[in-house]
């Protein structure tokens, strides 16, 4: 069956009620390839049922994985009601900051899974100009800003527009100990103290019970502390309270989002794998990449509002599937690269390589069918028709060159369709993990950088203490490293001194051409 029309008929899955379709015909596979996957489909179906029934599917951390099942009951829970109530009180000025002023902005301070989902949702639903809208246009809902790093530039940029007395701070950290998030919180606490204000009286937290953040929030008297379930991982937490509170504060219909996700959950529980979009999606990834991620996943939504989808998918897919060991402890170094941006625009950037360069990818196009506005360009075609034409044109050009494509069509970008897309990929990731026999729900590799960073920060303490004892030093990094008794750490000490020279008035440096090295003076 090679005919394009026949393949499309055979390999397009449609949910007519939701106007949602996903077409696999542009991928290189045959029925026989799907037949060969039968044992994997069976295992995935069995394991997904176990997962949803509450089995420990994250064995390394001895945790259940409940993001699929919890979202069914979540809208009926006391937690859901308390979030809605808190958000409504904030919106209507019943809960205010210390000075009694109504909150008009929320700063979400979180990183990774504690930021990417809310960022994606904000941009998708409220759009790029939300913060420029008036209070009336926002219907009293809050403007929203994000701190998702430990970058003083990001912090300084925020201070330029932030009105402290009218800003609510939402500190989101599942573990409650993530350093980047903590740094932003500490810096913000200091900033508020300098202004004579209490940070806690402008703050709410989302974290696991008993975490460092939980204790700190209670001790200092945050306005509210919301509990996050241990069994929901950061990168799959957008359908939990992590997505809910920022949504509720900014007028996003979170119930509709959950309904979309649950609708997709139902669809992706379909027993026949050929009719199950998550099974088919995982099968495409598996076949295209030989079960080893040999092809990159290029996410190209033809929608500006979905520009953050590829970033979100990067964490969801790469943190879940990028693993050294399989479930039997065998070294496998699995993974699947994800990148992308937005369609239309991308044709003028990296699409050149997809057309003519390395054949090491499969593209996933996401098309939004309903135009936000009818803008006639010619008698026959609107702006929206152009975007459609460019997508179809690129699709045909790529296929003509033997490149592979999946096309998802959604009626419009709204809470429900966003929920459907996220739930589809969440399940495809879990299914693919079963195909390749790995734990998709932990992230042991992330620890390495944290430990190494700790080493650098401790080295800096030692270095500065020794320099103080020596009452100043001068020399190249190698010379100074020897003087402070850390000769093996000369490269790292050079980096620390470079950083200090850029920031501390008592550290200067000059380049010594003879030695081809910087010469530092630390007073
Ligand atoms: O929510 P937190 O506990 O602060 O974690 C934030 C993020 O950092 C960790 O290092 C993990 O790699 C991510 O999966 C997580 O989403």
Query: Which backbone phi and psi does 102 adopt, to 5 degrees?
Result: -65, 140
Distance CA 490, CA 438 (A): 39
CB 243 within 8 A of CB 121: yes
What ipTM is given for this predicted complex? 0.98
CB 147 within 8 A of CB 184: yes
Give the mutation target among 58, 111, 227, 231 for probing the ligand 1 site: most ligand atoms within 8 A of CB.
111
Q: Which residues sit opposite 8 in a β-bridge? A: none
Closest C-alpha residue for ligand 1 atom 13: 112
- Domains of the chain: residue spans and CATH: 2-53+256-442 (3.40.50.10490), 66-252 (3.40.50.10490), 445-522 (1.10.10)
Secondary structure E strands in 164-239: 167-172, 203-207, 224-227
Range 364-388 average pLDDT? 98
Range 83-93 average pLDDT? 98
CB 94 within 8 A of CB 145: no
Q: Ligand 1 centre and the CA of 175: distance in Å?
A: 7
Range 95-124 average pLDDT? 98
pLDDT, one tens digit per residue, over 240-260 is 999 999 999 999 999 999 999
Cα of 459 vs its chain's centroid, Å: 32
Does the beta carbon of 112 sit less than 6 angstroms from any atom of ligand 1? yes
Distance CA 73, CA 384 (A): 38
- Produce one character per residue of 410-437: b if its CB has 16 or more CB atoms within 10 Å, e if not: beebbbbbbbbbbbbbbbbbbbbbbbbb
Per-residue pLDDT at 1 exceeds 70: no
Lay out the sheet containing 224-227: strands in order across: 143-147, 105-109, 167-172, 203-207, 224-227
Please give the pLDDT value at position 225. Answer: 98
Distance CA 222, CA 205 (A): 7
Distance CA 384, CA 368 (A): 9
Please give the pLDDT value at position 362. Answer: 98
Does the beta carbon of 173 sit less than 6 angstroms from any atom of ligand 1? yes
Closest C-alpha residue for ligand 1 atom 7: 112
Query: Which backbone phi and psi does 297 adopt, to 5 degrees?
Result: -95, 115
Greatest CA span in the chain, whole angstroms? 80
Range 345-367 average pLDDT? 96
Please give the pLDDT value at position 259. Answer: 98
Closest C-alpha residue for ligand 1 atom 2: 173
Does the beta carbon of 273 sit less than 6 angstroms from any atom of ligand 1? no
pLDDT, one tens digit per residue, over 174-202 is 999 999 999 999 999 999 999 999 999 99
Query: pTM score, two decimals?
Result: 0.97
Q: Ligand 1 centre and the CA of 185: distance in Å?
A: 16
Query: What is the share, in percent, of the chain residues with pLDDT greater than 90?
Result: 99
CB 181 within 8 A of CB 114: yes
Cβ-proximal residues to 212 (8 Å cutoff; 6+ apart), any chain: 176, 177, 182
Does the beta carbon of 319 sit less than 6 angstroms from any atom of ligand 1? yes
Average per-residue pLDDT in the chain?
97
What is the residue-wise DSSP string for 67-90?
HHHHHHHGGGSHHHHHHHHHHHHH
Rounded (5°) CA angle 326-238-192: 115
Please give the pLDDT value at position 2. Answer: 60
Lay out the sheet containing 473-475: strands in order across: 473-475, 517-522, 507-512
Distance CA 45, CA 70 (A): 19
3-state secondary structure of 378: coil
Q: Ligand 1 centre and the CA of 388: distance in Å?
A: 37
Distance CA 120, CA 237 (A): 13
Please give the pLDDT value at position 124. Answer: 98
- Residues with a catalytic annotation lie at 319, 348, 450
């Amino acid at each position: 069956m090679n005919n394009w029309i026949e393949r499309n008929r055979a390999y397009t899955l449609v949910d007519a009620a939701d106007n949602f379709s996903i077409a696999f015909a542009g991928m290189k596979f045959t029925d026989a390839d799907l037949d060969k996957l039968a044992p994997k489909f069976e295992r995935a179906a069995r394991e997904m049922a176990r997962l949803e029934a509450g089995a420990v599917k994250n064995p390394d951390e001895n945790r259940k994985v409940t993001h699929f099942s919890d979202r069914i009951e979540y809208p009926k829970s006391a937690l859901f009601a308390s979030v809605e109530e808190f958000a409504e009180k904030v919106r209507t000025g019943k809960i205010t900051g210390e000075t009694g002023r109504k909150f008009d902005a929320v700063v979400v301070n979180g990183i990774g899974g504690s930021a990417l989902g809310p960022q994606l949702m904000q941009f998708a639903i409220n759009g790029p100009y939300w913060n420029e809208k008036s209070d009336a246009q926002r219907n009293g809902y809050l403007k929203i800003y994000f701190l998702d790093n430990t970058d003083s530039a990001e912090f300084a940029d925020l201070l330029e527009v932030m009105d402290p007395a009218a800003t609510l701070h939402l500190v989101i950290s599942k573990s409650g100990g993530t350093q980047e998030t903590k740094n932003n919180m500490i810096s913000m606490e200091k900033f508020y103290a300098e202004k004579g204000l209490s940070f806690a009286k402008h703050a709410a937290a989302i974290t696991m019970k008993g975490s460092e953040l939980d204790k700190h929030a209670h001790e200092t008297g945050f306005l509210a502390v919301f509990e996050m379930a241990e069994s929901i991982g950061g990168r799959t937490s957008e359908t939990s309270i992590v997505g809910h509170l920022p949504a509720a504060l900014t007028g996003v219909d979170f119930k509709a989002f959950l309904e979309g996700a649950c609708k997709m959950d139902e669809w992706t529980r379909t027993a026949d794998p050929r009719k199950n979009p998550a099974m088919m999606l995982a099968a495409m990834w598996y076949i295209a990449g030989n079960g080893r991620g040999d092809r990159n996943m290029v996410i190209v939504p033809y929608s500006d509002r979905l520009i953050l989808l590829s970033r979100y998918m990067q964490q969801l897919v790469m943190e879940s599937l990028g693993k050294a060991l399989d479930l039997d402890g065998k070294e496998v170094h699995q993974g699947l690269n994800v990148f992308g941006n937005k369609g239309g625009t991308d044709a003028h950037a990296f699409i050149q390589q997809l057309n003519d360069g390395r054949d090491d990818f499969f593209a996933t196009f996401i098309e939004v069918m309903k135009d936000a506005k009818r803008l006639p360009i010619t008698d026959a075609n609107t702006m929206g028709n152009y975007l459609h034409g460019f997508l179809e044109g690129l699709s045909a050009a790529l296929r003509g060159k033997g490149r592979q494509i999946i096309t998802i069509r959604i009626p419009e970008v709204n809470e429900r369709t966003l929920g459907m897309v996220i739930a589809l990929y969440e399940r495809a990731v879990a299914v693919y993990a079963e195909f390749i026999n790995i734990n998709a729900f932990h992230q042991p590799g992330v620890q390495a950088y944290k430990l190494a960073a700790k080493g650098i920060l401790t080295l800096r303490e030692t270095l500065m203490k020794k320099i103080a004892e020596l009452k100043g030093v001068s020399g190249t990094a190698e010379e100074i490293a020897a003087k402070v008794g850390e000769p093996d750490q000369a490269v790292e000490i050079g980096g620390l001194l470079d950083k200090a020279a850029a920031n501390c008035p008592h550290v200067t440096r000059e380049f010594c051409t003879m030695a081809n090295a910087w010469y530092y003076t630390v007073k």
